[in-house]
Amino acid sequence: MIPKNIKSAHIKRAILKIRQEGVPLKRRSRKFDLVSGCEHYPPKYVISVANKFANGHELDAEKFSGGQETNSFLKRLGFQIVNKTEGTAKSDL
């Protein structure tokens, strides 16, 4: 389950950190991307890193699911999610 105290500011800080440090091979996304500016990020990894800013530690990927749970959470915070295979925004998540 994604902690409810993760806010938009934590997501933005996570994106900056990922932009600087990159994405570990094992944390790359398969189906969806979070779009920020012209860059794409793995939504589940963004949440994991954002938790570090909200709660002091990176959230274990096994503690929450990708897909609808992650994408819906990010959409509620105002972030754009695209389907990598279709290249379209997923506004219905």
**Residue count of the chain:** 93
pLDDT band at 92 (very low <50, low <70, confident <90, very high): very low
pTM here is 0.90
Q: For the chain, what are the domain ranges?
A: 8-22+29-89
Give the C-alpha distances (Å, rounded to integers) separating 92 from 35, 39, 84: 16, 21, 15
The average confidence (pLDDT) of the chain is 93
Quick one: pLDDT at residue 85? 83
Asked if the model's pLDDT at residue 86 lies above 90, the reply is no
The CA distance from 59 to 52, in Å, is: 7
Q: Considering only the C-alpha atoms of the chain, give the largest distance between any 2 of them, rounded to a whole number of Å.
A: 35
Q: SS3 for 32?
A: strand
Helices (H), the chain: 8-21, 43-55, 68-76
Task: Please name every residue paired with 35 in a beta bridge, in sequence order, or none if there are none.
Answer: 40, 80
Rounded average pLDDT over 83-87: 79
Of all residues in the chain, the percent with pLDDT exceeding 70 is 92
pLDDT bracket for residue 89 (50, 70, 90): low
